[in-house]
Amino acid sequence: MTAKKNMTFEKDQTAKLLQITESLNHIKDIDALLDRILLEARKFTNADAGTIYLVDNKKLKFAYVQNDTLIKKDTIYNKYIYKYHEMDVNKNSLSGYVALTGKSLIIDDAYQIPKNIPCTFNKSFDEKSNYRSKAILTVPLKTSAETVVGVIQIINAKDKKGNLVKFTQQDKLLVTYFATNAAIAIERAKMTRNMILRTIKMAELRDPRETGEHVNRVGAYSIEIYEKWAQSQGLSMEEIKKFKDVLRIAAMLHDVGKVAISDTILKKPAKLDKNEYEIIKYHTIYGARLFKDPTSDMEVISAQVCLSHHERWDGHGYPGKIKNIYADDIKIAGGKKREEIPVSGRIVALADVYDALISRRVYKNPWPEQKALDYIKEMSGRQFDPEVVHAFFSIYDIIKAIKDRFKDEA
């Protein structure tokens, strides 16, 4: 079997591998990329299942799971059984062991691990899903600095007839190749995220009106409102989870365009006059411009939020439809209406206004909670999307918890 597999590799696989590497280079979104890397690694090794775990806070988290056998059994439970689990980086699981040692591991039968390999196989997932893992190939995702950022695990190799077979050294090489690609992508995504978090810090320092806690609250309110709204739209859990990840950061960046507004306006310790207010409207456009040529969903959604968080459901917001946000002579006139405004903008609009109303600002006292809630109700269908308002009120207990968690310093 091994000899035959190697022969075919020589002939066809190299060309295919090059082709796939080329197409991977065109995937900008990290989630889509890692999902595709897992799929290709499985295809090359003809494996039934596979998982990519990511290291997060010294834990391994299931990030991407594929399983041909379980997906055929059509319960939703099966599809998500592996999601949102985590395990420690230690010898109590194969992936934990590989993350710990940084060394790849080929196991012929997960239920009979050779005595010279000092780790155990975690059977709990097999038990929950009624699956039988046999041959397992586990490879660390290592960055150029040799840091393990995750693990890719490929399960149950099959021959052409569908019989279970062992993984080979050749398979290990192939999966290591994909693992390197995945590690580079993860490292790049982390850099983008860190850059964005630093940008948020910088914007906070510029604008005394926007405290760090305000930004944290708006991020948290927004993702919770989104989750509720998305459930009512029937979006899948996977889609919701993916969007929540990017929406939090994007929502935190809503006012980042204020970095381009002059200090005299930004730091004025009073309400802005009409002229100043007109100038400050441009922070929406300046913000969106920061994300020119986006390389991730996070940047795309951040641009959306920056541009549209002052639009109103009834069309009386700003900046409205602008053909080219990079033009020199942009005139702000007439807002976007209803669904013309992206849902990210509709949600952040409500989260931002609610938080601004109930917070103290240099020029105003905080509104009493009930007054703010009455205002939001009154503005449903006018300033705010009624469905978003509905989602807000149906998770109001979570909103209150977020408020308590990110309190302004007295």
Burial of 245 (0-12, 13-18, 19+ CB in 10 A): middle
Which of 67, 308 has the CB closer to Fe ion?
308
Burial of 61 (0-12, 13-18, 19+ CB in 10 A): middle
Which of 31, 352 has the CB closer to Fe ion?
352
Tokens of 227: 């989750």
In the complex, least distance from residue 228 CB atom to Fe ion, rounded to whole angstroms: 21
In the complex, least distance from residue 402 CB atom to Fe ion, rounded to whole angstroms: 15
The string of DSSP codes covering 43-109 is: HHHTEEEEEEEEEETTEEEEEEEEEHHHHHS--HHHHHTTTT-EEESSTTSHHHHHHHH---EEES-
Which of 212, 295 has the CB closer to Fe ion?
212
Which of 180, 211 has the CB closer to Fe ion?
211
Q: Enumerate residues 6+ apart whose C-beta is below 8 A from 249.
A: 193, 196, 197, 219, 298, 302
Which of 255, 387 has the CB closer to Fe ion?
255
In the complex, least distance from residue 351 CB atom to Fe ion, rounded to whole angstroms: 9
Closest residue by Cα to residue 40 from 22, 61, 53: 22
Burial of 112 (0-12, 13-18, 19+ CB in 10 A): exposed
* Number of residues assigned to the chain: 410
Binding site for Fe ion (CB under 5 A): 255, 352
In the complex, least distance from residue 346 CB atom to Fe ion, rounded to whole angstroms: 14
Query: CA 76, CA 74: separation in Å to the nearest integer?
Result: 6
Chain-centre distance of CA 337, in angstroms? 27
In the complex, least distance from residue 356 CB atom to Fe ion, rounded to whole angstroms: 6
Which of 27, 332 has the CB closer to Fe ion?
332
In the complex, least distance from residue 324 CB atom to Fe ion, rounded to whole angstroms: 21
DSSP label at residue 9: I
- Is 249 within 8 Å of 297 (Cβ atoms)? no
Closest residue by Cα to residue 108 from 157, 35, 58: 157
Which of 48, 255 has the CB closer to Fe ion?
255
In the complex, least distance from residue 6 CB atom to Fe ion, rounded to whole angstroms: 60
In the complex, least distance from residue 319 CB atom to Fe ion, rounded to whole angstroms: 11
Rg (CA), the chain: 25
How many angstroms separate the first and last alpha carbons of the chain?
A: 71
Which of 50, 319 has the CB closer to Fe ion?
319
- Is 128 within 8 Å of 81 (Cβ atoms)? yes
In the complex, least distance from residue 391 CB atom to Fe ion, rounded to whole angstroms: 19
Specify the DSSP element, H or E, that contains 186: helix 169-206
Query: CA 26, CA 21: separation in Å to the nearest integer?
Result: 9
Which of 36, 217 has the CB closer to Fe ion?
217
Which of 27, 265 has the CB closer to Fe ion?
265
CA atoms within 13 A on the CB side of 230: 20
In the complex, least distance from residue 258 CB atom to Fe ion, rounded to whole angstroms: 7
DSSP label at residue 380: B
